[in-house]
A and B are shown apart, each in its own frame.
Chain A
Amino acid sequence: MLGKQKNRTPNSSPPAGRAEFAPNEVELAMLKEKALFSRLEAIRLIEIAKVGHYTSAFSAAELFASLYYGVMRLKPGEPNWAERDRFMMGKGHAAVGLFPILADLGFFPTEILDGYTRLGNPLGDHPDMRKVPGIDFSSGSIGHALSAGCGMALAGRILGKDFHTFVMIGDGELQEGQVWEAALFGAHNRLNRLIGIIDRNGYQLDGAVDDIITVEPIVDKWRSFGWETHVVDGHDVGAVTTLLRSLKADTARDRPVMVVAETVKGKGVSYMETEPGWHLGYLDPVDAERAIAEIKAMEIRG
């Protein structure tokens, strides 16, 4: 069907991010601040709902900040702009960390955040593309997003557009069979503007991913499926940004990319980092205050 291109050497390890794409000091400080902002807002919104996915949002905070403030081509005033980069996440339950960013960028008024999950509000635990400007695809059922991303990337090629499609998936999500259907399809069709990101935070609802059904060796799996594969510290927002920008700029690539972002579930709040049961929960305001203080101190810890 679609034009086949010649193979690169299989399993080659292309260079990670190029220095020329590294954010400067000012930008880096901004990106760090936006990641903290995402966490703090997630706590605020979950207080409204009285239950939420704190730790899933915290592990992805730097990834959200990097994508939305440092990597993606966007026009917040024109959410359906055809040339925009797309983002979707299989781990839709982390949306509580993304909604504040979309509001901050101007996709919708920040007051909408104040009614998070309340009757008639567009913002729920999972993102809805029909209700929330800036959400490129709805999710909630684990395992669909990479397939939808494949469709978007293929459609971009058919329509002659050069946007990139970013798909964040959870590491537990790799247990879904459909992910591997998409892995085959993306590689077969050489969807070179498709960039997957695995939020490798190590935990799912019932416990540690690799205790439940191991997904290792992750890197070897994606390489052997024909994806260019990179590993990055998912909380080093500078490294993430440098890598993702470099990947966008690599026009010679002939295959999709999977970035394994090594993250910590609950990153930023000590008692969440050591206790995976916080996948879903609620913080009493006393504990929320403590969490907020710890998150604010992250900036100092760096």
Chain B
Amino acid sequence: MNRPLSEKSWQYRQLNAQTPGLDALSDALLELVRSGEPVVAGTADLQYSNGLAKFARGCPERFVQFGISEQNMVSAAAGMAAVGLKPYVATFASFLALLCCEQIRMDVAYSALPVRLIGHHAGISLGFYGTSHHATEDLAIARSIAGLTVVAPADGAQLASVIAASANYAEPIYIRTQRGRDPVVYEAGKPFVFGKAIKHLDGKDLVIIACGSTVHPALQAAKALNAKGHSVGLLDMATVKPIDSEAILEAATNARMVLTVEEHNVLGGLGGAVAEVIAGEGLPVKLRRHGIHDEYSLIAPPTHLYAHYKLDSAGIEEIAAGLLA
């Protein structure tokens, strides 16, 4: 007997079929290849986790398998970019931003090469795989590297828009994504503009600023609060760097309070970036930074963790309601 007994059994290689959202990255990259872009995609033994297996099938001559050699992958991507290719390399955000931080700074950012670094399974989305696989520092690290643009798309459609827009973007980019299971926020084909926040709701009492995985639950929370008579706005700060200061100023001028929500340490990430703008402008607005409060996450299934850390819609609503009370 060499076959599982139940149809419900599954193996890692079938993850794509289990998670259609994982196709977004490959589909967007294959589209770039079709349009004649000198794109190459690479990964470090994680083609089923980030869905690049589909790209590898569709365009094997442009796929580079690096094996478990993340640092080599980042430096080699820089080398490829120096010769005229547009490399997109993907691995877990924990390994990409932390293990390869210096390769990113020296070979990619300092050298100003158009490498696209895709840190997937960011934040605590790897749940019970534990701290080695969590990345609650990557935004802070990436944000502090000069010359590196940092984006955190909220869902597959926005990721696809980021990839499409990146084709003609000269700077290196760190792209922070989740597990490919994001609830839908955006419709497909919406053009992405780097450095421009996306306003979902205006708010007079409170504006929530979110990015990546927290956009959808924050939107749900804002809507729920508005249904109860509050005026809560929502900004998707999909580009964490360069941050859209104007959008923050507008929100902080119109509302009494700002709440940042991120699946990241509250130090140095989205909350830190927003705080820098607000303090720099001397705006008389109350700011609350919500996220992981300078600690290592517990282990649990991701949805359980989001509930525990109040990063799901109910939790965000509770935090916001506390501010509004």
Query: How would you classify the secondary structure of chain A's contact residues: helix, strand, loop or mixed?
Result: helix
Q: Are B107 and A144 in contact (CB under 8 A)?
A: yes
Q: A1-B63, A138-B110, A141-B102 are in contact. Are A150 and B76 (CB under 8 A)?
A: yes
B-contacting residues, A144-179, CB 8 Å: 144-145, 147-156, 158-159, 161, 177-178
Q: A1-B56, A1-B60, A141-B102 are in contact. Are A136 and B82 (CB under 8 A)?
A: yes
| CA–CA, A184 and B71, complex, Å | 13
Q: Are B106 and A151 in contact (CB under 8 A)?
A: no
> Least Cβ distance of B21 to chain A in Å?
25
Q: Are B67 and A185 in contact (CB under 8 A)?
A: yes
Q: Are A154 and B67 in contact (CB under 8 A)?
A: no
Count residues of chain A with CB under 8 A from any CB of chain B: 35
Q: Are B107 and A148 in contact (CB under 8 A)?
A: yes
| A2 interfacial by beta-carbon distance below 8 Å | yes
| A227 interfacial by beta-carbon distance below 8 Å | no
| A68 interfacial by beta-carbon distance below 8 Å | no
| CA–CA, A212 and B62, complex, Å | 41
Q: Are B79 and A147 in contact (CB under 8 A)?
A: yes
Contact with B along A17-39 (1 / 0, CB 8 A): 00000000000000000000000
> Least Cβ distance of B57 to chain A in Å?
11
Q: A138-B110, A184-B67 are in contact. Are A144 and B85 (CB under 8 A)?
A: no
> Least Cβ distance of A172 to chain B in Å?
18
Q: Are A185 and B79 in contact (CB under 8 A)?
A: no
| A129 interfacial by beta-carbon distance below 8 Å | yes
> Least Cβ distance of B109 to chain A in Å?
11
Q: Are B82 and A152 in contact (CB under 8 A)?
A: yes
| CA–CA, A181 and B63, complex, Å | 18
Q: Are B111 and A138 in contact (CB under 8 A)?
A: yes
Q: Are B83 and A138 in contact (CB under 8 A)?
A: no
Q: A1-B65, A150-B79 are in contact. Are A185 and B72 (CB under 8 A)?
A: yes
> Least Cβ distance of A93 to chain B in Å?
14
Q: A1-B60, A144-B103, A155-B79 are in contact. Are A178 and B72 (CB under 8 A)?
A: yes
* Contact partners of A140 in chain B: CB under 8 A: 106
* Contact partners of B67 in chain A: CB under 8 A: 184-185, 188
Count residues of chain B with CB under 8 A from any CB of chain A: 35
> Least Cβ distance of B95 to chain A in Å?
13
* Contact partners of A154 in chain B: CB under 8 A: 64, 76, 79-80
Q: Are A155 and B111 in contact (CB under 8 A)?
A: no
| B150 interfacial by beta-carbon distance below 8 Å | no
| B90 interfacial by beta-carbon distance below 8 Å | no
* Contact partners of B62 in chain A: CB under 8 A: 158
> Least Cβ distance of B69 to chain A in Å?
4
* Contact partners of A130 in chain B: CB under 8 A: 110-112
Q: A141-B102, A159-B84 are in contact. Are A148 and B75 (CB under 8 A)?
A: yes
Contact with A along B44-82 (1 / 0, CB 8 A): 000000000000100011111111010111111111111
| A261 interfacial by beta-carbon distance below 8 Å | no
| B38 interfacial by beta-carbon distance below 8 Å | yes
| B215 interfacial by beta-carbon distance below 8 Å | no
Q: A138-B110, A144-B106, A178-B71 are in contact. Are A151 and B80 (CB under 8 A)?
A: yes
| B40 interfacial by beta-carbon distance below 8 Å | yes
Q: A1-B60, A130-B111, A140-B106 are in contact. Are A155 and B85 (CB under 8 A)?
A: yes
| A249 interfacial by beta-carbon distance below 8 Å | no
* Contact partners of A145 in chain B: CB under 8 A: 75
Give which listed residue, B61, B82, B110, contacts A148 with CB less than 8 A.
B82
* Contact partners of B75 in chain A: CB under 8 A: 144-145, 147-148, 151, 178, 182
| CA–CA, A268 and B268, complex, Å | 51
* Contact partners of A86 in chain B: CB under 8 A: 83
Q: Are B103 and A151 in contact (CB under 8 A)?
A: no
Q: Are B107 and A158 in contact (CB under 8 A)?
A: no
| Complex: chain B residue closest to A150, CB-CB | B76
| CA–CA, A187 and B73, complex, Å | 15
B-contacting residues, A197-223, CB 8 Å: none
> Least Cβ distance of A300 to chain B in Å?
42
Q: Are A151 and B69 in contact (CB under 8 A)?
A: no
**19 CB < 8 A contacts A-B:** A130-B111, A130-B112, A136-B82, A138-B106, A139-B106, A140-B106, A148-B75, A148-B107, A149-B79, A152-B79, A154-B79, A154-B80, A155-B83, A159-B38, A159-B84, A178-B103, A181-B71, A181-B72, A188-B67
Interface, chain B (partner A; CB < 8 A): 38, 40, 56, 60-67, 69, 71-85, 87, 102-103, 106-107, 110-112
The 3 tightest CB contacts between A and B, nearest first, are: A151-B79, A147-B75, A151-B76
